[in-house]
Amino acid sequence: MTRIVHVIAEFSEKEAMGRTISETAARVPGEHHLLAAHVHDGAEIFAGVTEVGGAMETFPMGRSTQVRDALRALRPDVVHLHGGALAPLLAAGSPISEHPHVITMYAWPRIPPLRQLRAGGLRPAWQSNVLRPRVGVSTVLPPAAVRGALRRAGTSAVLTPDPGVLRRLSHARGIPVLRLSSGAPEDDRRAVFEPEKPVIVFAGRAESVRGVDTLIDAFPRVLEHVPGATLKLLLIPRPDLGSLVDRVAAAGVSDRVTVVTEPVPDLLAELAGAQVGAWPFKFDYTTSPPAMAIAEALSVGLPTVATEVGCVRAVVEPDVNGLTVPPGDAPALATALLRLLTDGDLWRRLATAGPATTRQLSWSRAAEATDAAYRSALESSTS
């Protein structure tokens, strides 16, 4: 049996990268192990978990001795490194280069323009993934340097869901760069149009960079026209949580807003039980493309309103499977939500298109692409 070791700085199956690793371990044949600086949850799916600590920004290079010892003990057939644009440089400078390996580059994030940072808030951007030191480095990182690092490391293949990565690495000679169409489950449950007491849902981190504050600001306008509406916020606690709860109270809509911070046992059931999903992200790389929660919503036929940013464009096609509005624009968001809450024909058209879109982004397809990358690594190690 092929032994695969997944290497990632921070693992949680509740986050997009962690979920992708969990789905890979469940669907791609082999004995899957996890090697990380920090592991928060989801360890039970792996044959073994090794946690070595240290700074996440420089992992695995910053923990070379521990990583080398762990890999020698695990004796992997393939190492699968998960990260961003800096992953090839970290692989080239770490013991990963000593093993057959593939890299999933989830995104090539860039620092947003100053105008967007001011509009979205510098402090929230810094507290989230939008404005981190590694994002600053990847913003100025030449694609040629990444391609050179891939060759030095001996990387067998690169997987990515980000069109920006595909474009920048298109000239990586001798190294396949494969599209990883991930993020959507396959489920038979479907949302149902409910004009009288509809539920608007958001699921994700409690961060204003994800537009939760914009959604709260838009909701009173929705209630003016659809007084039976409810807003359900399924939130992963983050530093912004308290201020977002206070914002609900200040808007005077606490009796119409449900805030859930405990883990949701069946997110797809929550999405299928709503009538509209809202993900008004403020920045291109608020999360890795495609935005996983949006893909999950579309998979159960939940019409969605989102913003015109990169992680959304990877899955939402405006007026085909969802509606898009400018980031940070509460009146425009309210107008789009009301269109879906009051126009049954539009709702049903978008609801039908959602599952058709996500069938192209299914975890099964992602597993096929990943398995092909593993075979490439195994073949290169024996040639």
Boundaries of every domain in the chain: 3-183+362-382, 199-360
pLDDT at 381 over 70: no
> What's the whole-model pTM score?
0.86
Q: What is the pLDDT of residue 186?
A: 86
| Distance (Å) of CA 290 to CA 20, 186, 200 | 11, 16, 21
Q: What is the pLDDT of residue 61?
A: 87
**Topology (CATH level 3) of domain 199-360:** Rossmann fold (3.40.50)
> Could you give the count of Cα atoms lying within 13 Å of 159 in the half-sphere of its Cβ?
27
**Nearest alpha-carbon partner for 370 in 145, 181, 131:** 181
For range 33-48, the mean pLDDT: 94
pLDDT at 11 over 80: yes
Distance CA 318, CA 204 (A): 21
Q: How confident is the model at residue 193 (pLDDT cuts 50, 70, 90)?
A: very high
pLDDT at 89 over 90: yes
Which distant-in-sequence residues (6+ apart) come within 8 Å of 267 by Cβ? 203, 234, 293, 296
Helices (H), 181-291: 212-225, 241-250, 267-272
Q: What is the pLDDT of residue 314?
A: 83
With tokens 């069938």, the residue in question is 359
Q: How confident is the model at residue 185 (pLDDT cuts 50, 70, 90)?
A: confident
Residue 26: count other Cβ atoms within 10 Å of its Cβ.
11
Distance CA 61, CA 51 (A): 15
For range 55-76, the mean pLDDT: 91
pLDDT at 383 over 70: no
pLDDT at 129 over 90: no
Q: Which CATH class is domain 3-183+362-382?
A: alpha beta
Record the tokens describing residue 212, joined without a space. 């939760």
Distance CA 321, CA 351 (A): 7
Record the tokens describing residue 104, joined without a space. 């999933």
With tokens 């069946």, the residue in question is 266
Q: How confident is the model at residue 135 (pLDDT cuts 50, 70, 90)?
A: confident
Q: What is the pLDDT of residue 287?
A: 83
Shared fold status for 3-183+362-382 and 199-360:
yes
Over the stretch 15-26, which tens digit does the pLDDT of each residue have? 888 989 999 999
For range 37-47, the mean pLDDT: 93
Residue 131 DSSP class: S
Beta carbons of 276 and 340 less than 8 angstroms apart: yes
pLDDT at 39 over 70: yes
